Amino acid sequence: MVKDIDRRRLEFKKDYVYLNRNMIMDKHPNHIHKQLLNYFKQEDLHQYPDLWKTYDILSKHLGISKDRLLVTRGVEGAIKQVFDTLIFDGETVGITSPGFAMYKVYADAKNINIISVNGKYPECKITVKQIKEIVPKIKVLFLDNPKSHLPSYFTHEELFTIIEYCKEHGVIVFVDEVYVGWESESYILNIFKHKNLIIAGSFSKIAFPSIKSGWLITSKKIRKQIESLRESYELDYFACKSIEFIIDNQKYINDLKKRILDIKKKWYNELSKSKKFKVYDSKGYVLRLYSEDKATVKKAYDNLYKQKIVTGIVDDVNLVFSVTGDKKIKEIIFKEIL
């Protein structure tokens, strides 16, 4: 039985810049837009999408056989598939906090308990020891690794230790790698070492969140369980063709990442001069400004919002936002923070 949960859809206001949604806000150049449109063929529009081709292209790109791969509606779709098929009423899952809000939404809707492992501010680092303490009490462990706005993350050696410890206790580990590929490497090539591991990823955080395309990779046995409730067509035609386009244009993606990371480095170095905030880096394109004075955080948020720049507040002590190449936005943020 699924419980009624209050949900609300966030509205995008005209002319506001949303640096709080963990998106790259710099728009793609015109030639990229035109190239993408060329992938959409008139003769395809009257047919259902060809998922066989999508699976073939994506599996080769990821270096994984198709029988270990399941295409999903972003990483969130992979999370929902796990809640729908592997976790049942009254069971308990583990998460790390701060983290993705939808874990709690799906858990509450299906009467599933949550144990949260919290990092201590200001560094927010979570240890393997902390994870081990909750493993005997849970069915599935969800790890978003790395997190969007934190510099610390579990190394491959630490992940191996966690996954093997979970295996001893019959626990499945779900690793959300949506922010991998910026300044951290994927654990995908280690998937064959584990029978209790699910790795999820997507193209959302490389400036293509609009297509909501993602995947999960796991053992053949777990994939078969999860696939039982998949839709007949996991993605629509436009998302499938966009995946082809993204994979065909890896040079553009790599250049985009380099440019954004260069911007982040410059922002980090400059904003670190702030006397109001301590600035923390991340393994992606997000910066975190920390202050124990909650009023200072709220004032900065409000002042930026009045100028139509929306940042994020985490636990009242962190101002979190994506960097951008827009010089006007940079000037406004730097003036407020410095």
* Block mean pLDDT (10 aa), the chain, length 338: 77 91 92 97 94 96 96 95 94 92 92 93 92 97 94 95 98 97 95 97 93 96 93 94 97 96 97 96 96 96 97 94 96 96
Q: Candidates 3.40.640.10, 3.60.20.10, 1.20.1250.20, 3.40.630.10; correct CATH number of 42-248?
A: 3.40.640.10
pLDDT for position 329: 96
C-alpha distances out from residue 275 to 150, 304, 338, Å: 21, 18, 7
Quick check: 154 and 127 in contact, CB under 8 A?
A: no
Can you say whether residue 283 is alpha, beta or left, with left for phi > 0 and alpha for psi between -120 and 50 degrees? alpha
Rounded to whole angstroms, what are the CA distances from 94 to 33, 83, 133, 175, 218? Answer: 41, 12, 11, 12, 19
Instruction: Please say whether the dihedral angle defined by the alpha carbons of residues 239, 77, 182 and 191, taken in this order, is positive or negative.
Output: negative
So what's the pLDDT on residue 1? 67
Query: By the 8 A CB rule, do 284 and 146 touch?
Result: yes
Whole-Å CA distances, 295 to 186, 280, 306, 317, 337: 38, 19, 16, 9, 14
Residues paired with residue 290 on neighbouring β-strands, in sequence order: 278, 318
Q: For residue 246, what pLDDT is reported?
A: 97
Please tell me the CATH code under which domain 17-28+250-337 is placed: 3.90.1150.10
Residue 51: per-residue pLDDT: 95
What is residue 120's predicted lDDT score, i.e. its pLDDT? 84
What is the DSSP-derived secondary structure letter of residue 217?
A: E
pTM of the predicted model over 0.85: yes
Summary mean pLDDT of the chain: 94
**Residue 183, burial from CB neighbour count under 10 angstroms (0-12, 13-18, 19+):** middle
Beta-carbon contacts of residue 229 (< 8 Å; ≥ 6 apart): 81, 84, 85
The residue ranges of every structural domain in the chain are 17-28+250-337, 42-248
